[in-house]
Structure 1
Amino acid sequence: MPVTSVEKDTEALTMTIVADFPVPVSRLWDAYVDPRQIEKFWGPETYPATFLRHDVFPGGRSIYFMTGPEGDRSGGYWEFLSVDPGKSFEVRDGFASPEGEPNPEMPSMRMIFVFSETPEGSRLTTTTYFNSAEELEQLLEMGMEEGTRSAMSQIDAVLADLASFAAGRDTESQILGDTQVRVSRIVRGSVEDVWRAHHEPELMRRWMLGPDGWTMPVCEPATEVGEVYRTEWEDANGENRFGFTGEVLESAPPLREVTTEAMIGMEGEPSTNDLTLTPVTGGTLASVVITYPSAEVRDTVLGTGMVDGMESSYSRLEREVLQSV
């Protein structure tokens, strides 16, 4: 168990937890910025977490919920106040609905996470600042310290599992809820170059093609909130054309973009794609949380081989685009 000490200061209204790990700082940092990893230990052992959003940059936001043994859910959020990559980040931490709406009836806290090297590996010092002695007492009575110890007891197993989160793995999908799925892959390239590859037509036409044998005759990207994009593909014979269109809802270049997506010519509510690019060891973690109109639509789309098509595209991106930029 990595927790070295827990110190509560009722005068300063803080609780400081120190934990030591036999891994480099970069490995520990990656575990906290990668939603696939942090959700394996952020919740207590009996309340595993699911992260619907995890934007580790100033102004970014995390939305998560923890699911209990009886299926009950408890939501939370982080608002990132500052980020010093590889060294520290500061968040406003609070309670929320499972969808991420802050609960104004519950207290929020300021938390600072500091990552440092030690002779044996790395150390994480987490300091929580409470607004009042009453809130400090309330949260301790709710089991905050015990929950944190339980959560952190799971980190060692995640840190030891290098293979599941390493660069070089194929694109993977994870169902997050009835209508949501996360598709993730580490792309061997910088965040800036991967962002450009998602937004510059001359680059998009070279890699965003799915399986071999397709071309992109229409490529009209959008970069500003409110703009509309349109992309169309056809096979090598100029047949079987299909495409998608949508609108940019949020944009924080080069780290995050939220867009709608609808198949051209098809009726129905569009899906929403929340793309986040996060620098990690080995490249850029490209994570897309897709929200579909229904579970049926989600399963239908996944059944088309979408994830395999995305892997073909990402592999082509590394091979034919990022090596030359």
Structure 2
Amino acid sequence: MSTFTPALSWDLSTAYDLFVSLFVLHHPDRFGLRPSWAAGVRSRLPPGQREFLEKAQSFLPVPLRWLYLLPAGARDAADAVSALAKIPTAERLATLSHTSEHTPEFTATLRSLSSRQSWTPAELEVIRTFYQRRGIPLKPTALLNLCQAWAHPAEFGDQYLEALQSYYRLFFTEEEQRIRPLLISGIERARELALHRSIEHLLDALSHGVHFSGLHSYREVILAPSVWSTPLVFYSPIDPARLFILFGCRPTDQPLTPSASAPEPLVLRLKALADPSRLAILRRLAESPTTPGELARHLRLRSPTVVHHLQLLRLAGLVEITLLPSGERRYALRREALQETLPALEAYLQVPISHPPSPEDPH
């Protein structure tokens, strides 16, 4: 029986990085970003808006589906901000949060919160379980922030728009000009790769080791580049027939923070390897691919601890991940990345250091 291959299409917009950058700045540890630098960017916002965004970004996803469905030719960052302003205030939270993966029970629970402006322990459990099954468990404070937002959606919609407008004005307008050429060159490189690779091998290369096991159930796969998501990917079904994937396109020699000196991939790999628990995880993955739950049982670690270590190993490119249709994630060792680490370190150590000229002898 022949296997259906989905059609491949492309998208390019700075609006994706507007929202991804907000996500990264509020979760810097997930992306290998210095927390102090991220806090410095966030400090450009007025204190009230900064505190609001810290709560909002503890549970808000990147609204990939909404951004992709904006009118063609009007999906850059400024267009997205304007489009959000046109949405009725009380509907902005639902717009930003919606994905095709929402279950009827989850959607009904959120609507109940909004109508009663309160929640029950049973409803908290429905929300917690939904995120747990998707592999993105919420911390207790994030769960509370989410419930408070849905209990007062109009108030949230007003505050979020004001904070987003400030963020765009005070930081992202300048950042947009910096990243636009990188997005263009990134999509050009990806298109070139697509000429010579199957869609599976293309996604593996662009995502640094993410495998979508249900890929052939989609009619179309849409790919778009992102500077801020590098080296990770964001993805979301647009509908049952279309899958959207935002891939990192930032070159390895161009760090996100201007003060970085050593090669970013090398630093991430060395940090990831400098931990006994992560070495134990890699040793287990060297035997066979497995899930976070299985790793937790074998290594006698708490599941959240294992997930944290796997995130750092994934960020360093040392493990690959298969996303199963059930939502389960299976990890495996990326041997090629491990084998590249020592040569990369040796190459870095051999780069000549530019010394400043010696001051002239005053005599």
* TM-score above 0.5, yes or no: no
User: In proportion to residue count, which structure has more helix?
Assistant: 2
Which one has a larger percent strand, Structure 1 or Structure 2?
1
